[in-house]
Every structure is written in C-alpha cells, then in structure tokens.
Chain A
Amino acid sequence: MAVMEDDLVRQDAATLASAIARGEVSSEEVTRAHLDRIAEVDGEVHAFLHVLNDEAMESARAIDARRAAGERLGPLAGVPLALKDVLTMTGVPTTCGSRILEGWRPPYDSTVVERLRAADVVILGKTNMDEFAMGSSTEHSAYGPTRNPWDLERIPGGSGGGSAAALAAFEAPLAIGTDTGGSIRQPASVTGTVGVKPTYGGVSRYGLVALASSLDQPGPCARTVLDTALLHAAIAGHDPRDSTSIQAPVPDVVAAARQADVRGMRVGLVRELSGEGYQTGVSQRFDEAVKILTDLGAEVVEVSCPNFEYALAAYYLILPSEASSNLARFDGMRYGLREGDDGARSVEEVMALTREAGFGPEVKRRIMIGTYALSSGYYDAYYGSAQKVRTLITRDFEAAFTQADVLISPTAPTTAFKIGDKVDDPLAMYLNDIATIPVNLAGNAAMSLPVGLAPEDGLPVGLQVMAPPMADDRLYRVGSALEAALVDRWGHLLIEEAPQL
C-alpha cells in the first residue's frame, strides 16, 4: 500500500523506511513533511531547541541520490529523527538545556550521532530537556518548558520531554533520549510513546555530556515497539571510546520485537512498585495489562524487592555526587559562558560568577547536595551508604530474576501533571522516578510502553518492563506482544487518540 503524502508524519519509521526503499516516496519528501509539521506545531509544543532545516534536507537529498545510484542502504535509511540536546553533533548547538553552554558548537560527533549518520537516519534537530538532564518535567530547561501534546497545560515528562513530545506531536517518528533515573521511560509514559533504557554499557556514552557517569545511558524512543527496536539496533554495540561499553554482541532486539510472543515467559510483578502512591487510573490500566499478558500465555508471579524502598534515597545521593564532580568542568575557561571577566577579578571569582549565572536552580541544588555528600565527615554516612544500598538493590533484582524472566510495574506513579505544580518542590518532583530508578542503579535494561488512558483524566499510562543486564531482547518480546494485543483491542495505536494540535 502506498503511503499517502499528507499522512507522512503519522507513519511509523518502519513503514516510512520501506516506502522510501521501494521508491514510493523520497527521503526528501518525508523530511520536508516533518520539517513542515515542526514549523506548524512546535511554537505550541516547544519540543525543539534547534531545528536543522537546511542540513536535514541536504542529508535527505544525499540519501535519495545514493539510493537512486543503486546503493543498498540500511533499515532506517532516510527516516527523520529528533536528537536530545545532550549529545554532541559537529557544528550543531549543544546546550543541554543550560545557559552555560548557550551558543557552544561541539567540534566532534558523539558515537550515537556517528552511528545514526552511518545508518543514514536524517537528524531534524536538537530537543529540549531539563538542564543537564536534571528533572522529570522539562521545566528545568533554561529555554522554557516543553508542553505535552496530549494537553498543552501539562508536562511532557523529563528530562527527555522534548524527544517524547516530538514523537507524540508527530514531529518525528524516531528520537534519541538518555536515561539516568527514568529520563527516557517517564517521558514515554506520560506522552503515550515507547522508550527504552538499554543495559548500562549497551549504547556508547562517548559525546554524551555526563550527568552521572555510572547511571547515564542513551537509548531509543519511538511510537511503536518495532521502531524502537530498529533504532536500538542502529545505535547499540561496543565502542572503544567508552571504557564502560560492553564488549559483547547486541541482543537481537529486532527479531524479538517481530517475535512478539510471551507464551511460557515468567513475568514478575514487583510488589514494592504498586499500591499506595500510584494514581487509580494508572493502577487500573496496569492491572488490565497484566490480565492481557496472562491471556497471551505468560505466567505471572509476584516478586518482592524489599530494598527498592531505599532506591530513591540512594539515587539522590549517588547522582548529585557524580554530577557535582562532572559539572566541575563548566568553569568558564575553555568553552561556554564566561561571566565577570573584567580584568580585575581572579579566576576563582570568574568561575563562581559564571556558574551562578549559567546554572539554574535544580542544577545548583544537586551540585550542593553532591558536594555535601562527598565531604569528609559525611562521606561514609551518605555516599558510602548509598553505594551499599546499590548492592542491595542489585541483589534484589538478581533474586527476582531467578523467579521471573522479566519484571513489570507502572512506569510512573501518575499521569502528566500541570506545568508549575512541582517545579519548586524537589522531593515531590523526585517521586516521579520512584519506579524507574532501581533499574539505573543496577544497570538493567527497561522499556516503557503505553497501556491506555487513565479514566479520571484521559491521559496516557505507561507500563515498565525490566530485564536483566544484556537481556534487552526480552523487553521487546513482551512489549511487542502487549502492544499487538492492545492495538487489536483499540483498533489503532494509543497515540492516535491524542488531540489534534
């Protein structure tokens, strides 16, 4: 079936890629349609910080020319993508949502970008995010919040709210996020899209501006499970430039997504990630999804991870500690903003003035928490204890994975909240990541996919699937089986129910 031109932005990446490959539509036409859509709706949504109008059209035309010349291209060739503004791309502004990097154009490509180029994916632009990925709402961007396409008064999640909103607003069929405590999965959950945090070390961190190096992980985002798998396969794999990159073959996530079969799989419900604190409609849609998995032939068991209770506390010590150290590089000397250099002030004064002017409130809070937690006298009680909790959480996962092949939970305790509701209440904001954080501490792989709208507010609910390290393929087996059953029930993807912008 030929792809209708006026529909191009509503197609998924796999459909677009095969239409382009068959010559039914050109990458130029597909790219033009998405750039037009961005021009039309991004004034309201504000998913993008920088749009690569000319560059995207140029790469689309180059891809079309190579195909016309008979070259065989990869499975996503010619398909447009939105890139989170925390990954470097040569000559393209990379702000991390911060004033301190305003106007900085990196002189090198991140490995993720290098692989996207090698896969002939067309990069449309850089997406908005909480400053240095610190936040769960994208309200902590120095360039203003992104709005949730389901309800423009609400947050699109964070930190990767821009990437998730770009998908939900049909501005791009593919996006890249990064997930340190839930920054891919929670935005996916509240925007009715799909996002995967691969196993730590599965996708290279080279060229990813570091927040917390032992937790950060880039990953794929899309509107369908198969598209997410195709993007995962394009960006994953060993990279000698990242010393924490895993030297092993990437699990066959695309085959798993096509398999879409959960018969005989053991699915573990995590007792500690449900009940109190979870919105009624979130629990309801989650329970219905569990029933579907059972009907599809999965064996559902309950598992207990008693130390997950301490995950949030451990995370909010480990993350600020690593962040306070990583963000020391923003000192106004070699790149980015410099403030107060009047010829009289010392380097220390200029650094303090630069960081005061360049960082927003959440970044300052976390830098100070981290500085405190790493101070002599407090180190053992705070950072040292948090590292021990990390061991306990990893052990909880190991025990749970002896009883189940994957674990599931709601991705986030609530649907999208109103912009402004939690912006100056750090603890309330941190609770958004209560179900996503344990995975980052243990280094596992996890996915969020939409399982319906909460009846009380009509907003999307996400289900999280968690797999052991290097078993990322299991996420796709479960995700695609559940997605197919839900599409069967609804007659379409959930995202089709999003209001017209």
Chain B
Amino acid sequence: MTSITRAEVEHLARLARLELSDDEIDHYAGQLDVILQSVARVSEVAGADIPPTSHPIPMVNVFREDISRPGLAREDIAAGAPAWEDDRFRVPRILDEE
C-alpha cells in the first residue's frame, strides 16, 4: 500500500467537493496516511475464495404495493431551501466560465 501524499489529499478533496485550506491539507495528509496504513490490513485475510458481504441481512426484490400516496408539499420544501425563486430551487450557474 502506498502512503498518501499532499497532492493526493488535494485530489481527494476535489473529488469530494471540499474546498480545504492549505493548513487542513497538511493536517489531514498525515492523519489519512496513518488511518489508511492501519485499515490496509484487511487484505491480509481477504482470500479470493471469500464472497463479499454488502448487507448484513440478505434480501432481494423488496416491493411495496404500487399505489399513489401524497408527496411532500411544495411550500414545505421551499421553506427548507437555501434559495428559492419562481417555485423552484434557485441554483448557481452550472457551467464554468472558461
């Protein structure tokens, strides 16, 4: 397992949409490295013949009856929105300038 660099933390922060400060990047680089080194030992016992478990109680095809039911009221949604305009969420521009 490779150890984690400052550049990797910057990359992870970008992927995770976190605008970290320089101090934070330095601080987290050391901590993430320690954590990842420690958890890497899962591969010691994870043989090819062992099936993965994604869910503790296996269930397949859970259906409910297809009947309509009331959704949330528009004004209730608007009340929790950070910005609302013309009965819709107002969001910043979605394209970059360049």
Contact = CB atoms under 8 A, between A and B. Distances in A.
Q: Are A and B co-members of a single complex?
A: yes
A39 interface: no
Nearest to A199: B57
Nearest to A391: B53
B35 A364 contact: no
B42 A382 contact: yes
Interface in A39-88: none
A33 interface: no
A369 B42 contact: no
Interface in B12-55: 12-21, 24, 28, 31-32, 34-36, 38-47, 50-55
Contacts of A353: 19
A335 B79 CA distance: 9
Contacts of A375: 15
A313 B89 contact: no
A317 B79 CA distance: 36
A105 interface: yes
A338 to B, nearest CB: 4
A331 B64 CA distance: 30
A489 interface: no
Nearest to A316: B39
B46 to A, nearest CB: 4
A334 to B, nearest CB: 6
Contact of A368 (B13, B41, B73): B13
A143 interface: no
Nearest to A314: B42
A355 B59 contact: no
Nearest to A390: B53
Interface residues of A, number: 72
A280 to B, nearest CB: 26
Nearest to B39: A313
B12 A368 contact: yes
A335 B82 contact: yes
Interface string A352-383: 11011001010011011101100100000110
A384 interface: yes
A326 interface: no
Interface string A176-205: 000000000000000000000001110000
B55 A104 contact: no
A201 B59 CA distance: 11
A386 B97 CA distance: 41
Interface in B47-98: 47, 50-57, 59, 62, 64, 72-73, 76-77, 79-83, 89, 91-97
Given A107-B79, A365-B28, A442-B56, A355 B34 contact: no
A385 interface: yes
Contacts of B79: 105, 107
Contacts of B1: 381
A372 to B, nearest CB: 6
11 contacts: A200-B56, A313-B42, A314-B42, A333-B91, A351-B17, A364-B18, A368-B16, A381-B1, A388-B42, A426-B34, A426-B35
Interface of A: 104-108, 199-201, 214-215, 240, 243-244, 246, 307, 310, 313-314, 316-317, 324, 328, 331-338, 341, 343, 345-353, 355-356, 359, 361, 364-365, 367-369, 371-372, 375, 381-382, 384-392, 394, 426-427, 440-443, 469
Given A346-B93, A365-B35, 19 more contacts: A107-B73, A107-B80, A200-B57, A240-B64, A244-B55, A313-B40, A316-B35, A334-B89, A341-B92, A346-B94, A355-B16, A364-B20, A368-B28, A381-B40, A382-B39, A386-B39, A389-B45, A392-B45, A426-B35
Interface of B: 1, 4, 8-9, 12-21, 24, 28, 31-32, 34-36, 38-47, 50-57, 59, 62, 64, 72-73, 76-77, 79-83, 89, 91-97
